[in-house]
């Protein structure tokens, strides 16, 4: 059965393209999927059909009709998953490095969705076949806690919580440079890079609001280990913000330094904890994803000893 979703354009979104506006609303549909729905007539703006490029206006009503899920066509794969929690409505995964969350372009195997199809007997289909159950994403080489919806009802409520910034997300990041201050906030808008469209950048004219809180957890001779809490969830937000203040992530191939990466082969970023309200029971849940072994070894190396001290993640900011 088709599902109808309604959105009112707020002052923050007035002037956005229709496809960008809808892609930024729950349940976090991909922009390409939104464009397809618009072209198929599944979107109305105050009762009218409009093009994806239409600029939405304040207080306009945008109606989106999500089509009934189609039969699955992706291949299920037997890929090991580290499951932190699971029930009939959702599953929380500690995602490993090197895994893309959902199929994109020519990549249709080895993704988290393929692994989930091999593990679960049902997943939410709100985001279409290619993004079954996916409520939010982590970059390919970012590790850590990620929640996946098994039912459409759970998906819609989790997407609402992310959109309203009710989800608590804390990350562990190893960066270049030593911070003098104990904590701080980076509040700089982020948008698509104007020259390199594959990258994001701080853009004070056309960027969208982005707020990153950080706290120093440990200092080394030339590096710092940070605890980071996100208020917003822009693409590459942590990586872009830290690079902008001249503290890029160790190992970041896009925004970091090409040299002096301590032999680390990916960005040193881990989604350490994830807290949200259960979409069905209303209970607040919070999950800790243990840092991966490669990051632990890197920290041991910086400490100059094995074992080192444990992590303390009581965020103050």
Q: Which residues contact 15 (CB under 8 A, 6 or more apart)?
A: 55, 56, 57
- Taking the alpha carbons at both ends of the chain, their separation in whole angstroms is 44
Report d(CA 234, CA 189) in Å as an integer.
9
Tell me the CB-side half-sphere exposure of residue 162, using CA atoms within 13 A: 22
Cα–Cα separations (whole angstroms), residue 39 to 32, 35, 36, 51? 11, 6, 5, 7
What is the enclosing helix (H) or strand (E) of 63?
strand 61-66
What is the enclosing helix (H) or strand (E) of 154?
helix 152-163
Query: What pairing do the DSSP bridges indicate for beta strands 90-95 and 168-176?
Result: unpaired
Active-site residue (options: 19, 28, 89, 139): 139
Task: Identify any residues that bridge with 271 across adjacent strands, giving them in sequence order.
Answer: 144, 171
Establish whether 139 is a catalytic residue.
yes
Report d(CA 178, CA 223) in Å as an integer.
5
**Residues carrying an active site annotation:** 139
């Amino acid at each position: 059965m088709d599902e109808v979703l309604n959105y009112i354009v707020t002052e923050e979104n007035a002037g956005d393209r229709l496809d960008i506006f809808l892609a930024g609303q729950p349940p976090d549909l991909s922009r390409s999927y939104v464009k397809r729905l618009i072209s198929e007539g599944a979107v109305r703006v105050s009762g009218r059909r409009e093009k994806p490029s239409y600029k939405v206006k304040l207080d306009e009503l945008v109606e989106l009709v999500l089509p009934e899920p189609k039969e699955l066509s992706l291949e299920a794969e037997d890929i090991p998953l580290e499951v932190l929690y699971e029930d009939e409505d959702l599953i929380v995964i500690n995602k490993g490095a090197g895994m893309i969350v959902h199929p994109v372009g020519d990549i249709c195997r080895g993704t988290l969705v393929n692994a989930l199809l091999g593990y679960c007997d049902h997943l939410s289909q709100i985001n279409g076949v290619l993004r079954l159950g996916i409520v939010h994403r982590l970059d390919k080489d970012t590790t850590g806690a990620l929640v996946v919806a098994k039912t459409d009802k759970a998906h819609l409520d989790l997407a609402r919580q992310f959109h309203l910034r009710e989800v608590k997300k804390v990350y562990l990041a190893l960066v270049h440079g030593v911070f003098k201050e104990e904590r701080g906030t980076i509040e700089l808008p982020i948008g698509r890079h104007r020259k390199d469209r594959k990258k994001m950048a701080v853009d004070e004219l056309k960027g969208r609001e982005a707020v990153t809180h950080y706290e120093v957890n440990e200092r080394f001779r030339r590096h710092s280990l940070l605890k980071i809490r996100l208020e917003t969830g822009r693409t590459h937000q942590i990586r872009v913000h830290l690079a902008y203040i001249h503290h890029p992530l160790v190992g970041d191939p896009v925004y970091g330094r090409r040299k002096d990466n301590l032999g680390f082969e990916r960005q040193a970023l881990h989604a350490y904890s994830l807290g949200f309200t259960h979409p069905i029971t209303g209970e607040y849940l919070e999950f800790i994803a243990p840092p991966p072994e490669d990051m632990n070894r890197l920290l041991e190396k910086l400490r100059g000893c094995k074992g080192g001290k444990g992590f303390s993640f009581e965020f103050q900011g």
